[in-house]
């Protein structure tokens, strides 16, 4: 059994706080979009909670970016172009076919890289693409009175609202895929336990225990 310390405390704290805030945003967003009643939150309260969670999400995202710029965790987001296409094809084939045939996983987690190529691309796209766009559209919505009357020939508030809603749906889709992917480790709970304890463990007869300095 090999053990790698891949998830420092700051990253785990950010991950679970971010997850909680995102769930709050989903619930309050649904309450505002579909109207109060039943299990939904009253509209006025939903607006206040949604805006507060959005501000906290913004601060968390800034912390995530700073953390990856100033710690070794940032190396996991650097794409290595050598063999990139081949790794992408192999990993895609595994998720499309191999995983259902109980084939060995083509990627093995290491201290140098904890994401396979598809994970790396998806996390880069979400954290440095969709998330900042969601945050910007949310802040634009929050200060919609300061927006021009039209943008690109369309009502600005409507355009911002549709962009924010579309980005939210895309991130909900990512969350669903993410929840499935975490079950595809060596066991169903391997990846989940790693994000709780900081240690990634898997059977690897060729490797001993490796410990990275905790931060």
Domain assignments of the chain as residue spans, ordered by start:
2-8+73-214
CA dist list (Å): 22 to 5, 64, 126, 142, 168 = 26, 15, 13, 17, 10
pLDDT at 173 over 90: yes
CA dist list (Å): 202 to 37, 41, 155, 182, 183 = 47, 43, 53, 14, 14
Poorest-confidence range of 4-13, 48-57, 206-215? 206-215
Query: pTM for the complete prediction?
Result: 0.86
pLDDT 10s digits, 178-204: 999 888 877 888 889 999 999 998 765
Q: What are the tokens at 27?
A: 């619930």
pLDDT at 21: 97
pLDDT 10s digits, 112-144: 999 999 999 999 999 999 999 999 999 999 998
CB-based contact 87:95 (threshold 8 Å): no
pLDDT 10s digits, 28-70: 999 998 876 778 999 999 999 999 999 999 999 999 999 999 9
């Amino acid at each position: 059994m090999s053990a790698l310390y891949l998830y420092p405390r700051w990253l785990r704290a950010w991950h679970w706080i971010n997850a909680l805030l995102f769930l709050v945003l989903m619930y309050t967003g649904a309450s505002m979009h579909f109207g109060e009643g039943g299990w939904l939150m009253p509209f006025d309260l939903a607006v206040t909670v949604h805006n507060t969670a959005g501000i906290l999400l913004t601060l968390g995202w800034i912390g995530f970016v700073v953390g990856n710029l100033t710690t070794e965790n940032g190396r996991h987001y650097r794409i290595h172009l050598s063999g990139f296409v081949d790794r992408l094809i192999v990993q895609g084939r595994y998720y499309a076919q191999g995983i259902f045939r109980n084939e060995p996983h083509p990627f093995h987690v290491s201290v140098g890289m904890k994401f396979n190529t598809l994970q790396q691309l998806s996390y880069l796209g979400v954290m440095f693409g969709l998330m900042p766009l969601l945050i910007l559209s949310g802040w634009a919505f929050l200060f919609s009175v300061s927006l021009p009357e039209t943008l690109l020939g369309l009502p600005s508030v409507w355009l911002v609202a549709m962009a924010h809603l579309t980005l939210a749906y895309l991130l909900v889709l990512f969350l669903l895929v993410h929840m499935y992917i975490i079950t595809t480790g060596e066991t169903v709970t391997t990846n989940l336990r790693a994000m709780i304890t900081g240690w990634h463990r898997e059977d690897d007869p060729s490797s001993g225990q490796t410990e990275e300095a905790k931060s």
